[in-house]
Amino acid sequence: MKILKNMLIIAAMLLPAGIILSYPGNSKNAASTAPEGVVALNRADFLEKVYNYEKNPEKWVYEGELPCIIDFYADWCGPCKRVEPILGELAAEYKGKVIVYRIDVDRERELAGIFGVRSIPMFLFIPKKDNPQTLMGAMPRDSFVKVIEEFLLKDAG
């Protein structure tokens, strides 16, 4: 009985730490929650790999080598979670042709604000040579494929 009592005391002491550590904002590596092939972006990565709005505030200049999709999401968002495996599949299917990124709007509020994210999921489709297009809401796989083929890869040889 004394062992059980001690175990309950230890469990009660560890429970708050477990809750704090499991809170999405306390995850050390956002990429660890990304599906395979999907790359998590923070502000610094975004400026380097996508668009340096500090260097080019007046003109869209894509910094990437391949067209990309950016998923603005949050860990608590149900529709975001439904789209997550689709994005993982597409990242694998279009590897070497399209890059799939994701940005956690709770962690990267500045980026979410710059792109006017008011509802999630929101997707930014960025071709190599054209201006980006925005689509909102959890889309089916076929819709993603259509945008990839007809917009992102339209000029690909």
Catalytic residues, by residue number, are: 77, 80
Q: Judge contact between 98 and 152, C-beta under 8 A.
A: yes
Q: Which two tokens stand for residue 104?
A: 């956690």
Q: Are 77 and 141 in contact (CB under 8 A)?
A: no
Tell me which residue of 62, 129, 78 sits closest to 70, measured CA to CA: 62
Query: Could you tell me if 80 and 121 are in contact, meaning their C-beta atoms sit under 8 angstroms apart?
Result: yes
